[in-house]
Amino acid sequence: MAEERRPDDMTRITTRELADEFIEKQISDLRDQIGDKKVLLALSGGVDSSVVAAMLIKAVGDQLTCVHVNHGLLRKGEPEQVIEVFRDQMKANLIYVDATDRFLDKLAGVTDPEEKRKIIGGEFIEVFAEEARKLDGIEFLAQGTIWPDILESEKGIKAHHNAGGLPEDMKFDLVEPVKILFKDEVRVVGEALGLPSNMVYRQPFPGPGLGVRCPGAITRDRLEAVREADAILREEFAKNGLEGKVWQYFTVVPDFKSTGIRDGQRTFEWPVIIRAVNTTDAMTAEVEDIPFELMKHLVARITSEVKGVNRVLYDFTPKPSATIEYE
Ligand code: XMP
């Protein structure tokens, strides 16, 4: 039987051998639990759901159906990577839903951050439920719940059931194969399962995605600018040895324009703000000391490659007084 709780004396999974042992036991438990029934998983491409997907593919193969909802607020290349890794390489049943227009239409003109989050969360459940209804005979819902989620939900800090909020008539039994693991252990297990390291060692990315990095009302052009600038920042951090060293880094495109000059012509365009912070628990954070030469290179690339941008700013503010994200 699968453990409901993390045993007090459980050895921290830090090596390939310990990961393989864990995977073997989980696969056997998953087969016992699921039998010949069908399982559904919302696969975001984040570490936890990706590890759960890879584990279930090993355990029950095509009895698993994954649904990847692209809400239009993902980083550049993410939906493509989910399709490549899970559909093309691991041969999973993957339903890909491009719901970009649906989300962006609902978000049009909405400026309040909490309202934006509510719309994104609510719409996500709706799209996922619609896809689930099209499938026959699903009995289980898999989730990437991890041990800190359970501890926090017990303390009343957050509701851990990601799928909490599914309509009343949709009742599934839960399958949570990484629920006794800490995040660092999930990563070790992910590597042992053969997931790409840029997926396994991914920096934290909020559920509402780039939506909270376009402060105020989200527009398609500003969203495109934040996505392109973020891709350049990630590429340069990777090239310069900062990937995996800096805890979280991203760009923000605020909703104001300033004057600039390009090819002798006056421009009136957005700034891109770069944020790069280090922390252990995200409760407080320190700003990363980015080398000045790299900063100048980032400015040159972003202002020449990202449409609609004429300035780049660096946010020097720790948490507190600022939060990590802008909304
Ligand atoms: P803040 O901005 O509160 O962020 O300093 C702390 C950490 O939480 C992440 N974050 C979110 N994650 N949904 C998420 O899944 C959200 O709405 C959300 N808001 C902030 C943030 O990226 C940082 O790692």
Banded pLDDT at 159 (limits 50, 70, 90): low
Cα(325) to ligand 1 centroid in Å equals: 6
Alpha helices by DSSP H, listed for 61-107, are 78-82, 100-107
Q: What is the pLDDT of residues 165-188, one digit of tens each?
A: 788 888 899 999 999 999 999 999
Q: What is the pLDDT of residues 288-324, one digit of tens each?
A: 999 999 999 999 999 999 999 999 999 999 999 999 9
Buried residues in 283-302 as b, exposed as e (16+ CB within 10 A):
eebebbebeeeeeeebbebb
Residues in the chain: 327
Among protein residues, the one whose CA lies closest to atom 12 of ligand 1:
206
Assess whether pLDDT exceeds 90 at residue 155.
no
Assess whether pLDDT exceeds 80 at residue 158.
no
Locus of tokens 């493509």: 80
- pLDDT at position 164: 61
User: CA–CA separation, 129 vs 138, rounded Å?
Assistant: 12
Assess whether pLDDT exceeds 90 at residue 218.
yes
Q: Which atom of ligand 1 is nearest to the CA of 117?
A: 17
Banded pLDDT at 161 (limits 50, 70, 90): low
Cα(274) to ligand 1 centroid in Å equals: 16
- Judge contact between 205 and 213, C-beta under 8 A: no
Cα(220) to ligand 1 centroid in Å equals: 22
Q: What is the pLDDT of residues 15-73, one digit of tens each?
A: 999 999 999 999 999 999 999 999 999 999 999 999 999 999 999 999 999 999 999 99
Among protein residues, the one whose CA lies closest to atom 9 of ligand 1:
206
Among protein residues, the one whose CA lies closest to atom 24 of ligand 1:
204
User: CA–CA separation, 213 vs 200, rounded Å?
Assistant: 23
Radius of gyration of the chain (CA): 21
Enter the tokens of residue 296. Answer: 């100048």
Q: Which atom of ligand 1 is nearest to the CA of 204?
A: 24
Among protein residues, the one whose CA lies closest to atom 18 of ligand 1:
206
Enter the tokens of residue 34. Answer: 């699921």
**What separation, in Å, do the N-terminal and C-terminal C-alpha atoms of the chain show?**
43
Pocket of ligand 1, beta carbon within 6 A: 117, 204, 206-208, 248, 282, 319, 323-325
Q: Which atom of ligand 1 is nearest to the CA of 319?
A: 5
Q: What percent of the chain has pLDDT over 70?
A: 97
Cα(235) to ligand 1 centroid in Å equals: 22
Q: Which atom of ligand 1 is nearest to the CA of 325?
A: 2
User: CA–CA separation, 251 vs 205, rounded Å?
Assistant: 12
Q: How many CA atoms lie within 13 A of 74 on its CB side?
A: 20
